[in-house]
Amino acid sequence: MGRFVIRRILQMVPVFIGTTLIVYFLVTQMGGDPIQNLYGEKPVPDNIRATLTAQYHLDDPFFVRYWYYFTGLLQGDFGESINQGRPIVELLAEAWPETLKVAGVAFTFELIIGVIAGVLAGMRRGSFIDNLVLVSTLFVIAVPIFVLGNVSQTFLGQEWGLFPVSSTDDGFISYVLPGLVLGSVSLAYIARLARASVAENLRADYIRTAKAKGLPKSRVIGIHVLRNSLIPVVTYLGADLGSLMGGAIVTEGIFNIPGVGYQLFTSLNVEDGPAVVGFVSLLVLVYLISALVVDMLYAVLDPRIRYE
């Protein structure tokens, strides 16, 4: 296991370099003129343009610029946002806590409710609860998330006043509704995955053995069925963790939360290359680490998988 982890961490290095290189390249190819964006419609004075170009190395060859960027990255220097003129580390430090709170709510919600709904549905195939889970999850999957977000904002927030409508002024409660909306689609997938694998494992020979041993039902389900049914769910959760953090652009937009997705979207709009690369680089790290955690969890859940 130890050697596996070390090997995987070493594998992360080329992946990280490769992805940042590609993202950096794509951002430089976006065209547009970030300096012009600072001035809007007005002309940019020549001396300012020259200073900024030199400051951000905008005229240097691509690989030289990447080299400057990457060496800075290794020292924890993400560079400076062209658009806001602030260190990108500051932007990251502001955005990540917001995103983590929303993602945390979403993750907890989808894990707990999703697994419970899936297990109940899988245990009673064809029952009312099974059909309820199937229909409601299909509904959630079918409806686009911006519809879900706007509708729940309007009704749960404005009309019935159950949750704060937007922004982050009300402390933790402000993150609950965005979290629920963000986690809802993944919840639907988790419920369906758990349902299918519980239904399948219930018919397994070792469950028959567990019953023949005279184990109480709670133990048969809670230990023998669940341990085996969680394996596909964990796979999904690992991949989902990344998209909860980077893919929350729509949800963060609707609820006006200045998180990673929101910042990324803004930076893209104003062609703020360094900021985009900075946010994406960190997201790449999050994906890589969550993939590693999932692989390690596999070995814990299923001893037949051994890493040597």
Partner 1 sequence: MTTIDKTASVPAPRDGATHDGPLLDVRDLHVEFRTREGVAKAVNGVSYSVNAGETLAVLGESGSGKSVTAQAIMGILDTPPGFVTKGEIVFRGQDMLKMSEEEHRKVRGSKIAMIFQDALSSLNPVLSVGYQLGEMFRVHQGLSKKEAKVKAIELMDRVKIPAAAARVNDYPHQFSGGMRQRIMIAMALALEPDLIIADEPTTALDVTVQAQVMDLLAELQREYNMGLILITHDLGVVADVADKIAVMYAGRIVEQAPVHEIYKRPAHPYTKGLLASIPRLDQKGQELYAIKGLPPNLLKIPSGCAFNPRCPKADDVCRTDVPALVPVTEQDGTDLPGRGSACHFWKETIHG
List residues near partner 1 by CB under 8 A: 203-206, 208-216, 219, 223-224, 227-228, 301-304
* CB contact set of 85 (below 8 Å; sequence gap of 6+): none
d(CA 307, CA 213): 32
Of 7 and 211, CB closest to partner 1:
211
Of 86 and 125, CB closest to partner 1:
125
Is residue 128 within 8 A of residue 186, CB to CB? The reply is no
d(CA 65, CA 73): 12
Of 74 and 212, CB closest to partner 1:
212
Query: How far apart are CB 228 and partner 1 at their closest, in Å?
Result: 6
d(CA 165, CA 183): 17
d(CA 241, CA 128): 31
d(CA 167, CA 25): 34
* CB contact set of 93 (below 8 Å; sequence gap of 6+): none
Q: Is the dihedral of CA 254, 286, 109, 142 positive or negative?
A: positive
Query: How far apart are CB 112 and partner 1 at their closest, in Å?
Result: 22
The amino acid occupying position 11 is Q
Query: How far apart are CB 214 and partner 1 at their closest, in Å?
Result: 3
d(CA 16, CA 181): 31
* CB contact set of 50 (below 8 Å; sequence gap of 6+): none
Query: How far apart are CB 225 and partner 1 at their closest, in Å?
Result: 10
Query: How far apart are CB 191 and partner 1 at their closest, in Å?
Result: 22
Query: How far apart are CB 120 and partner 1 at their closest, in Å?
Result: 18
Query: How far apart are CB 4 and partner 1 at their closest, in Å?
Result: 18
Of 31 and 214, CB closest to partner 1:
214
Query: How far apart are CB 304 and partner 1 at their closest, in Å?
Result: 5
Of 194 and 249, CB closest to partner 1:
194
Of 194 and 254, CB closest to partner 1:
194
Of 46 and 205, CB closest to partner 1:
205
**Residues 298, 299, 302, 308, Cα dihedral to 10°:** 130
Of 21 and 301, CB closest to partner 1:
301
Give which of 62, 71, 74 is closest to 27, Cα–Cα.
Answer: 62
